[in-house]
Structure 1
Amino acid sequence: MSSRLASRPRCSRCNLSRHLCLCAEIPQVQTRTRILLLQHVMEIAKKSNTGRVAALAMPNSQVIIHGAPSGTDLELLSEPGTWLLYPDGPTAPPDAPPPRQLVVLDASWSQARRMTQRLPELRALPRLVLPPPEPGLLRLREPSHPSGMSTLDAVARAVEALEGREVAEPLERLAALRVQRIAACGTLY
């Protein structure tokens, strides 16, 4: 790959190459559940980062950076009614009220696993466990974990589980559009 292609200018908002920019397509999805994206510091600059796109689409969301030199304020994780989206661990009782806030880890699987191991605030949270993704889910690459999917896909599926298909559909369409645009251009995103 030439250096000219490797250094294509990116959109400062969605972080994709400008020719793939999704900003005009990003919906505004109103949710009752607050989505708190706990983003690993190594995800910030990645072109593949979909947590940024999820946050742009959801006014009732917030991104907190984990691993920054200045430290991370984890006080929000202790708010009552907070759950963690994670594929295993202590699930909430079936009769529990739905979460008011859902923590979503925006990280690779190994980073997410280390975050849950190292942060007692995360270990204490009840879990929302999603079933593994359907075989037809559009992806750019095979996940490293059986339940693996992009952060945007995970948020869409969690919103569907908590608030219904109608609320989640714009997020699902956005995730599919992102994959389609990138796939149509090959690896140059």
Structure 2
Amino acid sequence: MSLPIARPRCDRCNLPLHLCLCAELPRVETRTRFLLVQHVVEPRKKSNTGRLAALALTNSRLLTYGALDEALDTALISEPGTWLLFPDGPTAPPDAPAPRQLVVLDGSWSQTRRMTQRIAALRTIPRLVLPPPAPGTLRLREPTHPSGMSTLDAVARAVALLEGLEAAAPLERLATLRVQRIADCGTLN
């Protein structure tokens, strides 16, 4: 039995070269700073959309959580005006000012849930909760959480809420293009 041959990947977007989205990456400017906290195993995944979101957002930073040789700088999470994008937990009061910074966790549902439990700074900040995706939303697989979606989809929806539909449109197009390319090829390999 032979193992499937892994195709070369793009160094920037991490997708197989035949699926590379680098030429399609928009430059999305936002008032809100996006702090993407990526679980340590996510960067190696071809399905990683947090990296695409960070590449597209001009006002973003990508951090790694769980690396043995690098501690997460939680001071960034504790900055005033920081909220957490997460489907569960206490939401911000309706009259709260919009966040200046939004923390977005990038990983599987179980990884991100553990991150909210283990990173003390995340437990005390307000949460931006998105409504569940509409039935029939284009996706590669069914989520394990009712409100689950890819990190790129979640960021696009958060940008729409915070910055407007026009600002979010390039991210939504990128997310749709990603799913279509992968579906057309039938594989991420």
Tell me the residue number matched to 1:95.
Answer: 95
Tell me the residue number matched to 1:148.
Answer: 148
Q: Distance in 2 between matches of 1:184 and 1:121?
A: 41
TM-score w.r.t. length of structure 1: 0.97
Tell me the residue number matched to 1:8.
Answer: 7
- Is the alpha carbon distance of 1:119 and 1:174 closer, same or farther for their aligned partners in structure 2, counting shifts above 3 Å? same
Partner SS state of residue 116, structure 1: helix
Q: CA deviation digits over 1:11-42, x for unaligned, max 9?
A: 00001100110000000000000000010001
Contact preservation (8 Å) 2:47, 2:188: no
Q: CA deviation digits over 1:122-180, x for unaligned, max 9?
A: 01110000000011321011111100100000000000011110000000000000000
Contact preservation (8 Å) 1:6, 1:188: no
Contact preservation (8 Å) 2:30, 2:163: yes
Tell me the residue number matched to 2:168.
Answer: 168
Tell me the residue number matched to 1:178.
Answer: 178
Unaligned runs of 5+ in 1: none
Tell me the residue number matched to 2:48.
Answer: 49
Unaligned runs of 5+ in 2: none
Identity of matched residues, %: 73
Which runs of 4 or more aligned residues in structure 1 lie more than 6 Å from their structure 2 counterparts after TM superposition?
Answer: none
Tell me the residue number matched to 1:37.
Answer: 36
TM-score w.r.t. length of structure 2: 0.97
- The range that moved more, 156-165 or 5-14, is 5-14
Q: Distance in 2 between matches of 1:158 and 1:124?
A: 20
Please tell me the root mean square deviation across aligned C-alpha atoms, in Å: 1.2
